[in-house]
Structure 1
Amino acid sequence: MSAFLNDLGRAAMLIIGMVWQVGWSLVLGFAISALLQTLVSKQGMQKALGRNGPKEIILATLAGAASSSCSYASAAVSRTLFKRGAALVPSLAFLFASTNLVIELGVVLLLLMGWQFMAGEWIGGVVLIGILALLVKLTYPAQLVEAARRFPEAGGHGHDHGAMAEAPGSVWQKLGRRETWVHASHSFVMDWRMLWKDIVLGFVIAGILGAFVPDGVWQFLFVKGASPWIQVPANALLGPIVAMLSFVCSIGNVPMAAILWGSGVSFGGVLAFLFADLIVLPLLDVYRRTYGWKMAAYIGGVFYATMVIAALIMDLAFNGLGWIPARNPHAAAMMAHFSINYTFVLNLLFGLVAVGALVLAKRNPMRMAPRHCCGGGRAKLPAMDEHAHHHH
C-alpha cells in the first residue's frame, strides 16, 4: 500500500510540475492565436480555398498555423471550410497545420524535450502536408468527396470559431480599437474552455503512466535494442496506435511523448505519436458523423499512412544531420523540479495576461450559445454584433 501511495504522490508531483513548466507558454500561444483569429477574416479564407492547388494549400497551412491547437476545435473549423466549398486537400492541410505548426505546441516541446523536437514537429508538419497532398492526389475519391460534402449531419454542429466581422482599416488600426481586444479576450477564453479538459487529461495520463508504468514496459512494446532497421519502422507504425488509444489533444500528448523518449522509443516513433492526435478514436467518430463512415475510413487511412511516412522521413533526416537529442531518462523527475527562475517570472507575467483577458471578457459579455466542441459546455461567442451569429 505504501508503494502505491508513493507512486501516487510521484504522479501528482509530476502532473503539477508539467503544468508549471509549460503554463506561461500556453498563455502566450493562446494570446497570439486569439489576436490572429480576431484580425484574420475567415470568410475571405474560405473563398480562397476552393482548389487543390499549391497556393490554396499554402494559404490553408498558414491559416491553420495561426489557429487554435485543439484537435477537436480544428476539426470543427476544417468541417466548416469543407462544407462551404473549400477543396479537400486545403481543408485537411488546415487540420494538420492547426495541430502541428501552432506556436504553443512548439514552445511546449522546446521546454520539455528540446529544440530538436520543436524543429521536428514544425518541419514534420510541413512534410505531413506535402505527403498528404500527394496521397490524396494519387487516391482522390471524387464521388466520396461529393457525397461527404452533402452528408446530412446528425445533431448540432459547433459554431464557427472565427474572426470578427470585417472592420475597415489596417491591422495596426484594428489593434488600436477597444473592440478588437474585447473580441480577442473572448477568443482567448473560448480556446481555454475548449482545451483545458484535453490538456489536463494529457497531463494526468502522462503523470500516471510516468509514475506507475516501468520503463521496461515501453522498451518492450517499442522493441528497444532491436536493429534500427526493425525498431524505427516498428516505432513509426506503433506510435500513432498508442496515441489513437490515449484520446489526448495535441498539447496534452507532449508530456507522454517526453516519457516515451526517455524510455528509449525512437525519434521517429515519438514524432509519430505526436502527429497522431487527429486519429484518436473520438475524432474518428466525429469524422464519421460529419462525412459518413466511408469518408471517415478514407481520412483515417490517409492520415495514418501520412503520419508513418512523415515520421520515417524525419527520423532518417534528423539522424543524417546529427540532430537527434540526447535521451533524458530523468525527464519525468526534472518536470517535478521547482525553483525561483525564469519559469517563475514568466508564469507570473503571463498569469497576469490570462487574468486580464478573463476580466476583459467578463466585463464585456456576449450572447450565450451552446458549444459542441471539445467536451461541450456553454461558451460566449466573440461576436461584435449579437445578431451577426446564429446557431445552425
Structure 2
Amino acid sequence: MLVAKLGEALLLALGMAWQVGWSLVLGFAFSGAVQALVSKQRMQNLLGRAGVREIAIATGFGAASSSCSYAAAAMSKTLFKKGAALVPSLAFLFSSTNLVIELGIVLWLLMGWQFTAAEWIGGLILIAVMTVLVKLTYPKALVDEARRHVDEATGHDHGSMEGEGASLAERLRSPETRIAIAQNFSMDVSMLWKDLLGGFLIAGALAAFVPDGAWTRLFLHGAPPAVQTVGNAIIGPVIAILSFVCSIGNVPLAAVLWTSGISFGGVLAFLYADLIVLPLLDVYRRYYGLRMALYIFAIFFTTMAFSAIVMDGAFSALHLVPKPNPNIRHDLTMFAFNYTFWLNLAFGALAVYLWLLDRAHPMQHGCHGAHEMTAPSSRLMKNRPS
C-alpha cells in the first residue's frame, strides 16, 4: 500500500512538472533577455511610476510573458532592479501568473471554461486590489532598502546593448547578447531548481496521501455558506503556501482539491496564491530582504483572499460554478502526444542550448548570484574593430 502510494505521488509530481516545464524555460529565457537587452533608463521611463499607464503596461507585459511563478518572480526582480516602481513590478507578477493564455488553456481542459474566466477576470481584480493596498500602505524606506538589497543579491546593473545604436534584431543576432541571456538564464535556474523540485514532490504527496475525508473536514462542509466561502478563501492560500508548486503546475492539484470538496472561491484563492508559496517567499527574501518579503506576503495574502471571495460571490450569483471531475487523478497520470509534449520538446532544446552556451562562457559569480561580472556585451565590444 505504501509503495503504491509513493508511486502514485511520484507519478503525480512528474505529471505536474511535465505540464509546467516548457513555461519555466520560456519565463527564465525571457527574464534573461530583458536583463541583456533593456537598459535601466528605458525601464525607468516605462515603469518608473505607479500610474495607471505604467500599471497597464506592466500588466500587458506580464500577460505576454511567463506563466510560472518562479520565472515570473525572476522577471519581476529584473523589472524592479532596472528601475520599475513597486506597483508595476507586482502587477507584472499577478498578470504573468493569472492572465496568460496557456494557463487558461490548461484550466479549461482540466476544470472547465468557468475557471478560465474566473482566473482572467480575477487577475485584473487582483491587480486593482493590490494597487489600492500598496498605495494605502506604501513603505518608501522599505522600497529603497529593497532596491539596495536586490543589487547586492544579484549583482549591480552593468547596462545593456540598448544604447549602442543597433536595432533590436541586430542585438539579438550578436553573440554577446546570446551569451548574456544564457548567463542570466543559468543564474536564475541555479537559484531556484531545488525549490521547484521540492514543490512538485510535495504537491504530488498531498494529492496522493491526503484522503478525501480529511479535505472535506478542512473545507468546512456543513458550515453556513458565508462561513465556508470566507474560510475556504483563507484555507486555499494556506494549502498553496505549503504545497510549493507554481502557476500552471498547481492547476492539477487545484483540480484534485476541487473534486475533494473545496469551494469555488477556495480553488481560486489556491490558484492565485502560487505567488506566496514557501520557496517563493524565500526567493523574495533573497532578492529584496526579509522585511520586504514579509510586506509582499501580507499584501498578497489579503489581496488573494478578498479577490477570491468577490469571484465566488459573482459566479455563484450567476450560476456559473461548474461540477468537478471525479476522475481527475487518473487523467493527470495519462501521457499523450499533445501540445504540451511538443512545447516541452522545443523549449527543452532551447534550455540545452542556453546551458551549453553558459558552460562555454561561464559568468563569474558567487553564492546566489551575488557576483562580480564582466558583461559579455562590454567585454566583446572591446574586441571589435573600431
- Tell me the TM-score normalised to structure 1 length: 0.77
| Secondary structure of 2:261's aligned partner | coil
Query: Counterparts in 2 of 1:61-76, with a 5 A limit?
Result: 61-65=59-63, 71=69
- The answer to whether residue 259 in structure 2 is matched with residue 262 in structure 1 is yes
| Secondary structure of 1:354's aligned partner | helix
Cα pair 1:158 1:371 within 8 Å, conserved: no
- The answer to whether residue 140 in structure 2 is matched with residue 145 in structure 1 is yes
Q: Distance in 2 between matches of 1:24 and 1:73?
A: 11
Q: What letter matches 2:153 in structure 1?
A: H
| Secondary structure of 2:365's aligned partner | strand
Query: Counterparts in 2 of 1:205-354, with a 5 A limit?
Result: 205-224=202-221, 226-281=223-278, 290=288, 293=291, 298-320=295-317, 323-340=320-337, 343-354=340-351
Match among 355, 359, 378 for residue 385 of structure 1: 378
Cα pair 1:70 1:194 within 8 Å, conserved: no
| Match in the other structure for 1:159 | 155
Q: Distance in 2 between matches of 1:165 and 1:33?
A: 15
Q: Deviations over 1:283-314 (max 9, x none)?
A: 55666784664x65544333222111111222
Q: Distance in 2 between matches of 1:276 and 1:254?
A: 12
| Match in the other structure for 2:43 | 45
Once the two structures are TM-superposed, the CA of residue 87 in structure 1 deviates from its matched residue by: 3.9
Query: Counterparts in 2 of 1:33-182, with a 5 A limit?
Result: 35=33, 38-65=36-63, 71=69, 86-101=84-99, 105-106=103-104, 109=107, 112-137=110-135, 139-141=136-138, 144-150=139-145, 156-159=152-155, 164-166=160-162, 167-182=164-179
Query: Counterparts in 2 of 1:368-379, with a 5 A limit?
Result: 368-370=364-366, 372=368
- The answer to whether residue 4 in structure 2 is matched with residue 6 in structure 1 is yes
Structure 1 stretches lacking a partner, 5+ long: none
Q: Distance in 2 between matches of 1:251 and 1:197?
A: 18
Cα pair 2:24 2:68 within 8 Å, conserved: no
Q: 1:208 to 1:134 in 2, by over 3 A?
A: same
Cα pair 1:179 1:384 within 8 Å, conserved: yes
Query: Counterparts in 2 of 1:199-210, with a 5 A limit?
Result: 199-210=196-207
Cα pair 2:212 2:260 within 8 Å, conserved: yes
Q: 1:339 to 1:247 in 2, by over 3 A?
A: closer
Cα pair 1:202 1:253 within 8 Å, conserved: no
Cα pair 1:61 1:97 within 8 Å, conserved: yes
Once the two structures are TM-superposed, the CA of residue 182 in structure 1 deviates from its matched residue by: 4.1
Once the two structures are TM-superposed, the CA of residue 212 in structure 1 deviates from its matched residue by: 0.9
| Secondary structure of 2:154's aligned partner | coil
Q: 1:265 to 1:16 in 2, by over 3 A?
A: same
Query: Counterparts in 2 of 1:358-377, with a 5 A limit?
Result: 358-363=355-360, 365-370=361-366, 372=368
Q: 1:338 to 1:249 in 2, by over 3 A?
A: closer
Q: Distance in 1 between matches of 2:93 and 2:190?
A: 20
* Matched length: 378
Q: What letter matches 1:126 in structure 2?
A: L
Q: Distance in 2 between matches of 1:71 and 1:124?
A: 16
| Secondary structure of 2:377's aligned partner | coil
Q: Distance in 2 between matches of 1:254 and 1:132?
A: 23
Q: Distance in 2 between matches of 1:217 and 1:379?
A: 51
Cα pair 1:78 1:91 within 8 Å, conserved: yes
Query: Counterparts in 2 of 1:181-192, with a 5 A limit?
Result: 181-192=178-189
Once the two structures are TM-superposed, the CA of residue 4 in structure 1 deviates from its matched residue by: 1.0
Q: Distance in 2 between matches of 1:25 and 1:84?
A: 23
Q: Distance in 1 between matches of 2:101 and 2:379?
A: 31
Q: Distance in 2 between matches of 1:327 and 1:220?
A: 18
Q: Distance in 1 between matches of 2:42 and 2:253?
A: 38
Percent of pairs with identical residues: 53
Cα pair 2:17 2:249 within 8 Å, conserved: no
Q: Deviations over 1:324-377 (max 9, x none)?
A: 4431222222111124555545544443343334334444x142213527xx9x
Q: Distance in 1 between matches of 2:150 and 2:336?
A: 51
Once the two structures are TM-superposed, the CA of residue 223 in structure 1 deviates from its matched residue by: 1.9
Q: Deviations over 1:1-55 (max 9, x none)?
A: xx11121122122223333344445445555555555544454113443433211
| Secondary structure of 1:385's aligned partner | helix
Which is worse superposed, 118-127 or 145-154?
145-154
Cα pair 1:80 1:160 within 8 Å, conserved: no
| Secondary structure of 2:199's aligned partner | helix
Q: Distance in 2 between matches of 1:351 and 1:102?
A: 20
RMSD of equivalent CA atoms: 4.0
| Secondary structure of 1:51's aligned partner | coil
Once the two structures are TM-superposed, the CA of residue 281 in structure 1 deviates from its matched residue by: 4.6
Structure 2 stretches lacking a partner, 5+ long: 382-386
- Tell me the TM-score normalised to structure 2 length: 0.78
Cα pair 2:232 2:262 within 8 Å, conserved: yes
Structure (1/2) with the larger helix percentage: 2
Q: Distance in 2 between matches of 1:310 and 1:379?
A: 42
Once the two structures are TM-superposed, the CA of residue 118 in structure 1 deviates from its matched residue by: 4.0
Once the two structures are TM-superposed, the CA of residue 130 in structure 1 deviates from its matched residue by: 0.6
